[in-house]
Structure 1
Amino acid sequence: MSKYIDKEQSVATHLIELRQRLLRCFMAVLIIFLCLFYFANELYTWLSAPLSTLLPEGTSMIATDVTSPFFAPFKLTLVLSAFLAMPFLLHQAWSFIAPGLYLHEKRLAIPLLLSSIFLFYLGISFAYFVVFPLIFDFFTSVGPENIAVMTDISSYLNFVIKLFFAFGIVFEIPVATLLLLWSRVVSVEELTSKRAYVIVGCFVLGMLMTPPDIISQSLLAVPMWMLFELGILLGGLIVKHTTRD
């Protein structure tokens, strides 16, 4: 009977801790949002720069909905707040699961946590500074001459957020590959033998996750492949090191 009560108390304790950490995550995003909301319009101007600088002279982005001039910057600020709070959010997740990990698992988990944060931000930066200028230049130059390019601000925001998430997640491939190798789910030899299928899969995912043009598809697929190769390289080194230990 006492064991059953102790088990119930343990579950209740974990649930209380989980609620507290979720509240901390919510408050972190809220605080960042309140700090950034005053600059919401400036943030949207910065986000739209890769497209607005390529628009023909005399044209601009438009709002087809009455509420778009308010809700588009509002949504951007909220998403940006979540992005900026990501290190704190992942730290809260780590603090919750860390007590249940062994020492050797903690030694690997901390570098993986830091790498995940870095790679997520790297993926977003790659999308903004490399991918956006190329695909927007392509889209604004292929249309008929008698068509004025005037993109809706809400449509543009949804488009770039989708690509931000796509590239942020895709850049986590080395971490995912390393975890698969470290947990012995697959071996380096098995992944290497399936390289051709992985390359095809990268281009299929690139086609599904990006606009329907070969440029943006390749800009996502090629980094996915390179990151997969990096994950195999790092995973092989770590597996050899842990095997020797």
Structure 2
Amino acid sequence: MANKNVNEMSFLDHLEDLRWLLVRSTIAIIIMAFVAYCFSDFLFDSVIFGPTRANFFTYVYFCELSHSLGFAESICITEMPFIIQNTTMEGQVNVFIWMCILFGFILSFPYILWEVWKFISPALYQNEKKHAKIFIFFSSLLFFLGVVFGYYVVIPMSVNFVATFTISPTVLNQFTLDSYIGMVKTSLLASGLFFELPIIIYFLTKLGLVTPNFLRTYRKYSIVLVLIIAAIVTPPDVVSQTIVAIPMLLIYEASIFISVFVAKKEKNN
């Protein structure tokens, strides 16, 4: 995977390129964070706190789905029995800043990928460099699909579970702002990065660090892990758990397919 140009660069040259990659990426994140700031009212009221309302799209859709499948009102949500409160003086300020930065990172992700590609391109063959647009397009698409999955599936399922779970009617749910925002950040980033698994497997297979047999061997463990995650973040019903588990399993299977394709291509070369 090496190119002659990379041998002409010293270690300090690589560090200098990495430094400018981080600088330009940081600037891009700050610019997109300012864009998020300009739409902060919509961002917080409609997007971030949207899953805390019973009329959120996911809850309405699942309710209609339960009716069509004959489950009556089994997964319909009519209220959210909890409140979110701020318990620290600087809490809302910190949340405002960090959520703008988070959405700045999400919006600037394609540009960050472009910077990463420019950084690793000296180590690629000439024919591999031609795939820059394909790499950025599919990596960005998978990341955004993961973020959408996290927002419309993982977050509302998690909110619904913790809101309805109770050990006693005498205990009221009053969640802190930090805990809710932490769950939102983790769900969005974890889902977005998990959907990057096929891209990661592509490069790991190309480097010889992962093989199709390795992925097939650990498939059963991945299935168990996915089902456990689905059971944790969803209400105790089969429909919700299936909706969460299937996309994650498909991503893993797609990673195996990509690993097989890359392994065959490397073998032929």
Query: TM-score per shorter chain, which class?
Result: 0.7 to 0.9
Q: TM-score, normalised by structure 2?
A: 0.71
Identity %: 26
Aligned length: 234
Structure 1 residues 15 and 240: CA distance shift in structure 2, 3 A:
closer
> 1:128 Cα shift?
0.8
What residue number does 2:252 align with? 228
Is 1:70 matched with 2:69?
no
Structure 1 residues 236 and 214: CA distance shift in structure 2, 3 A:
farther
Structure 1 residues 91 and 109: CA distance shift in structure 2, 3 A:
closer
Structural mapping, 1:98-177, within 5 Å: 98-107=121-130, 111-143=134-166, 144-177=168-201
Contact 1:178 1:232 in 2 (8 A): no
- 1 CA distance for matches of 2:195 and 2:173? 31
Unpaired segments ≥5 residues, structure 2: 1-6, 55-78
What residue number does 1:55 align with? 80
What residue number does 2:30 align with? 30
- Match for 2:105 among 78, 82, 89? 82
Q: 1 or 2, which has the higher helix percentage?
A: 1
- 2 CA distance for matches of 1:9 and 1:243? 29
Moved more, 79-88 or 141-150: 141-150
> 1:197 Cα shift?
3.2
Unpaired segments ≥5 residues, structure 1: 1-6
Contact 1:127 1:163 in 2 (8 A): yes
One-letter amino acid of the counterpart of residue 119, structure 1: L
Please report the RMSD computed on the Cα atoms of aligned residues, expressed in angstroms: 3.3
> 1:211 Cα shift?
6.1
> 1:136 Cα shift?
1.9
Q: TM-score, normalised by structure 1?
A: 0.77
Structure 1 residues 55 and 193: CA distance shift in structure 2, 3 A:
closer
CA displacement, residues 125-144 of structure 1 (integer Å, 9 cap, x when unaligned): 10111222223222222324
- 2 CA distance for matches of 1:44 and 1:67? 17
Structure 1 residues 185 and 107: CA distance shift in structure 2, 3 A:
farther
- 2 CA distance for matches of 1:15 and 1:49? 42
